[in-house]
Structure 1
Amino acid sequence: MDESQRVSVPAVDDQAESRTEPIVLVEQAPDPDVRRRWRPPSFELNAVALMAATGITGVVGLAFWAVAARLPPAEVGRASAILTTATMLSQLSSSNVGVLFGRVLAAAGAKSRSLVLGGYGIAVALSLVLGAAFVLVIPNELLTGTVEKVAFPLIVALFSLFALQDWVLTGIRKSVWIPLEQLLFAIGKLGLLLLFSVWALQNGIVLSWVLPCLLAVLVVNAVLLGRTLPRRRAAEAGATEMPDRRGLTRIFLAEYATGAVMYVVPLTLPLLVVAVLGTEANAYYAVPWLISESLGLLIFNISSSYLVEAAHDSRRIAALMARTIRLIALVAVPGVAVVMIAAPWILSILGPAYAAEGSTVLRLMVLAIPFSTVSTLYVAICRIQLQMARVVVIEAMIAVLVIGFAFALVGPLGLAGVGLGYLIAEVVVAAATIVPLVRFLRANQFSLRRR
């Protein structure tokens, strides 16, 4: 029995557990007690690595926008809207593929490289189509020149690959490399921003983001596709069964529908702010969104690690959920409390105007995180059980409610209306999902106590 099983909460009674077939280890360490003392369980290790990567991105990202805030607010708001839109379009193109990697790479074995290449190809094609559609179809004032319009779909495709390579590392339990990748990327874009600011280079904010991203994609995928994935020869013991091509297609289509509705909100809200309040207001909105999204991503990181570990051993679904909730509570409770109290001081790093305009919307968005955690946990359960219709419905509810409330409140309340609409929507969805979540936990004899 591996370390993660030794600390997990049993999901079945003792008699059922005694009938479970023993796991045959390929390698047996000479002293399991010594290994237990220094090697964390893979679930916590991967989750902490993903959270560390998100923390690095958030902290250095805040420093990035603190430097950018020294530039004219209209320029910062425009660059922020371009980068946010490109990021959201890339996530819309690639997130569904990434979840697919997290679910099936454990069982892919020798097919891992071809599976990843196929996923990359789909994501890049979708990125180019969505990026071109944004340029040609959707009226906007963000892209003014021909070069910018041609480059935008390529930036979307680049961001897609950058996100997917982290999903590949997560799916093969190599998440420990993601924080280093994110740290080097964050330092690179911050250094280039300082350099380009001195040069007063046009589109310097966007270029300082894109160039390190390109280098990271080239280096990481050279290692993944050239060495790591070709060495995977067999499926891991205890992994869920590898779907056939038709099964993969069904999962992909379901995940794509889910991804499509998941990213409507972060794609739409900045455009709504720009349209109603202007690009300068978006500069004050972008940083609170970045901070609250970073804290929310910590919760999503834990949920993603749960998905991967359950795919590696589907017999531990309920036990892993207990560990997931403990880890989420450890992260979310102090995180929300600190940001709620220190919001003005955090934003004052960027200047007094950012603190004055952004503190309320930041507090409202962070206050929504405990409620969004309820739906996140239930969505994770539905994904494991392949109840994808429910996932799509939940994400669609969030998107419709957030956009609807934000649209109704942004006019009379300004940026605070966007935050309030986000909070109200998450409260409503949490109320709708907490009952089936509790039913699942009770049905699986859920307990937060360790053995």
Structure 2
Amino acid sequence: MSDRSVLRKLMRDLRNPLFRNGYALMANTAITATLGMGYWLLATRFYTPEEFGRGQALITAMRLFASLTALGFVGALARFIPISGRRTGGVILRGYGMAAVTGGAAALGFLLTLPVWGDIYAVLGTPAMSLFFLGSVVVWAVFTLQDVALTGLREAAWVPVNNLVFGLVKMGLLALLATRLPEGGIFVSWMIPTAIALVPINFLIFGILVPRHVRETEQTARPPSLREMGRFLAGDFPGTLSMLAIVYLVPVLVAARVGEATFGRFSMAHTLGCMIELLAMNMAVSLTVEGSFDRSMLAANARRALKRALMIITPIIGVALVAAPLILTIFGSEFAVEGTMLLRLMALAVLPRVLIEIYLSSLRALGQARRLALVQIGLAVLVLTSIMALFPFVGVDAVGYGLLFSEILVALLIFSSLRKILRYGETGQPRVMRRSSEVA
């Protein structure tokens, strides 16, 4: 295929909101991964291995409590922002508030039980660090949901712009604090730019995009009632919470079992594996948004999203399998020794995860919260159980083996239902075509 035909195909895709949002989120993941690698590479040069591991652990714990609650509302915001009309601003603010309160409460519980979580978190024992950690959880919760708000408003193109600026400022501050704050500089350099980024992006959301969205959808909006949103969250939130435990709770549990330097090396492979997995989720989030706008197009959009996701992700998985040791050697030879197998296993696990994410996003668009929760909770139980069972035998590689085994099994179990959605959309059944004589 010539460069010109590829360009024409891309321009045609960008006129479709499903692909435009999906590609923007994938570009954001690529930017985040690239700048993230640069950030952590700088950290290995400017900070000791122990401080590197401690910084990773603090950021991981912060993201656990912020994201387990904030990302629990991702499905609801992606589902309801497109149809909320005049209530759109309130829906977004309500999501922000609930995520901040629940995340802060979870973080407070963590701080009150700090000795249970291992010596690596002892630095949070002072009042000043405890308050900074609590504030960081609240800030990250809002930072996470603002990207979802932009996607729900069909303006995901702003997400990579925001994270590009955020990533560059973060790297500069990391280097600046290396001499001024050799202990704690990693965590501080991560959070200060995050807090600053909230101001311009939320001005954009509430000052420009929400009013425009209200004007454009006032004729077709179907603002959800609190009861409808509550019923959806009751089904979606526990399942989403379970799924996010896979990403954010697992590293915290690993940190409690290994030393600081070992955790730092584990975290790099785990972070890169999660970035590949996030690509599978990007197109799926866009599918939820477009499925909420127009359910009649769900089958066609689901097929398109699955095809594009596999087309983009499969080569990336191939690169990760072949070049995992070379990629990790950038951070040091010990990173490659301890992380190559983990990165390869996590990359392979993304293939079945693509099928799972397309299925889950279709269920969100259809509002089938009970089935959604069942699949998500089942997958989380499988992953956590298998990791804990394998950890004594294969160490940190248990994370990769557990993910691969669990996601293949769940993909096989949901495959028949996914095929029905891909063929028939919201009904799950073939449409019966009536004869012209019957219509007459």
Fold equivalence (TM over 0.5): yes
* 8 A contact 2:291–2:362 mirrored in 1: no
* Alignment match, 1:112: 88
**Which digits, 9 at most, give the CA deviation of each residue in 1:356-377, with x for residues without a partner?**
1111111111111111222212
Which consecutive residues of structure 2, in runs of 5 or more, have no partner in the other structure? 1-7, 430-440
Identity of paired residues, percent? Answer: 28
* Alignment match, 1:248: 229
**Which digits, 9 at most, give the CA deviation of each residue in 1:293-327, with x for residues without a partner?**
11111110100011111111222111101110111
Secondary structure class of the residue paired with 2:257? helix
* 8 A contact 2:86–2:218 mirrored in 1: no
Q: How does 1:19-418 map to 2 (within 5 A)?
A: 40-70=15-45, 71-137=47-113, 139-140=116-117, 141=119, 142=121, 143-234=124-215, 236=217, 241-418=222-399
Q: Which moved further from structure 2: 373-382 or 352-361?
A: 373-382
Q: Which amino acid aligns with 1:65?
A: W
Question: What's the CA shift for 1:182?
Answer: 0.5
Secondary structure class of the residue paired with 1:90? helix
CA RMSD of aligned residues (A): 2.1
* Alignment match, 2:436: none
* 8 A contact 2:75–2:364 mirrored in 1: no
Distance 1:97 1:74 in 2: 35
Query: Residue 369 and residue 39 in structure 1: after superposition, are their counterparts in 2 closer, same or farther (change >3 A)?
Result: closer
With normalisation by structure 2, the TM-score equals 0.89
Question: What's the CA shift for 1:240?
Answer: 7.0
Question: What's the CA shift for 1:201?
Answer: 3.3
Q: Which amino acid aligns with 1:130?
A: A
Secondary structure class of the residue paired with 1:263? helix
Query: Residue 106 and residue 443 in structure 1: after superposition, are their counterparts in 2 closer, same or farther (change >3 A)?
Result: closer
Distance 2:112 2:401 in 1: 33
Distance 2:202 2:329 in 1: 39
Q: Which amino acid aligns with 1:409?
A: L
Q: Which amino acid aligns with 1:328?
A: A
Question: What's the CA shift for 1:37?
Answer: 6.0
**Which digits, 9 at most, give the CA deviation of each residue in 1:381-401, with x for residues without a partner?**
221222212221212122212
Question: What's the CA shift for 1:235?
Answer: 6.0
Q: Which amino acid aligns with 2:23?
A: V
Q: Which amino acid aligns with 2:402?
A: G
Q: Which amino acid aligns with 2:376?
A: E
Query: Residue 250 and residue 401 in structure 1: after superposition, are their counterparts in 2 closer, same or farther (change >3 A)?
Result: same
Query: Residue 198 and residue 212 in structure 1: after superposition, are their counterparts in 2 closer, same or farther (change >3 A)?
Result: same
Q: Which moved further from structure 2: 202-211 or 102-111?
A: 102-111
* Alignment match, 2:413: 432
Q: Which moved further from structure 2: 78-87 or 138-147?
A: 138-147
Q: Which amino acid aligns with 1:42?
A: P
* 8 A contact 2:265–2:339 mirrored in 1: yes
* 8 A contact 2:70–2:141 mirrored in 1: yes
* Alignment match, 2:5: none
* 8 A contact 2:85–2:223 mirrored in 1: no
Secondary structure class of the residue paired with 2:357? helix
Secondary structure class of the residue paired with 2:222? coil
Which consecutive residues of structure 1, in runs of 5 or more, have no partner in the other structure? 1-32, 447-451
Question: What's the CA shift for 1:174?
Answer: 0.8
**Which digits, 9 at most, give the CA deviation of each residue in 1:130-165, with x for residues without a partner?**
111111135223123222222212111100100111
Question: What's the CA shift for 1:200?
Answer: 4.3
Count of residues in Structure 1 that have an aligned counterpart in Structure 2: 412
